């Protein structure tokens, strides 16, 4: 089992920027992109939850990545109170792998590679980015 460590991922900007997700807990593994200076509620995050079967059976690994967008905070009220940050909406992906205990590392690696390649395929990526289903 690998030790928990930072995860660095490129975004899709014209000039891609590295986002470093720093571990904030280990069981389940949770990471936050703290570099952008946003309050915790507005930070991008990754969580990895692994439910490993004790005596064979079906293992389940769920990876979630969230990109919250904060509401624009209004001015203070007459008493000087400024409301705290609040999430307006969140773009989020959650991918669950169901992995039988009798499967091999090679088979799980093949599944992972095919999932990554499927997500990179233009037909699938356009449904995600442009909300344009295939017809």
Statement: residue 2 has pLDDT above 90 = no
What tens digit of pLDDT does each residue of 78-98 get? 777 777 788 999 999 999 999
In this structure, the dihedral spanned by the alpha carbons of residues 112, 116, 119 and 122, taken in order and rounded to 10 degrees, is: -140
Q: What is the pLDDT of residue 36?
A: 76
CA end-to-end distance (rounded Å), the chain = 43
What tens digit of pLDDT does each residue of 22-41 get? 999 988 999 999 887 888 99
Rounded percentage of the chain residues whose pLDDT exceeds 90: 73
Q: What is the CATH number of domain 1-71+84-102?
A: 3.30.380.10
Average confidence score pLDDT of the chain: 91
Q: What is the pLDDT of residue 83?
A: 75
Number of residues written out for the chain: 135
Q: What is the pLDDT of residue 8?
A: 95
Tokens of 12: 């899709």
Q: What is the pLDDT of residue 11?
A: 92
Rounded percentage of the chain residues whose pLDDT exceeds 70: 98
pTM comes to 0.85
Asked if residues 61 and 50 have their Cβ atoms less than 8 Å apart, the reply is yes
């Amino acid at each position: 089992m690998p030790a928990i460590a930072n995860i660095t991922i490129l975004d899709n900007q014209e000039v891609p920027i590295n986002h470093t997700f720093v571990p904030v807990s280990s069981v389940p593994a949770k990471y936050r992109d703290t570099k952008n200076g946003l309050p915790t509620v507005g930070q991008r995050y990754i969580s990895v939850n692994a439910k490993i079967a004790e005596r064979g059976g079906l293992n389940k690994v769920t990876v979630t990545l969230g990109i919250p967008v904060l509401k624009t905070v209004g001015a203070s009220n007459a008493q000087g109170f400024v409301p705290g940050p609040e999430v307006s909406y969140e773009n989020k992906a959650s991918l669950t792998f169901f992995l039988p205990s009798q499967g091999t590392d090679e088979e799980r690696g093949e599944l992972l590679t095919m999932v990554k390649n499927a997500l990179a395929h233009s037909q699938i990526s356009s449904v995600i980015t442009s909300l344009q289903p295939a017809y």
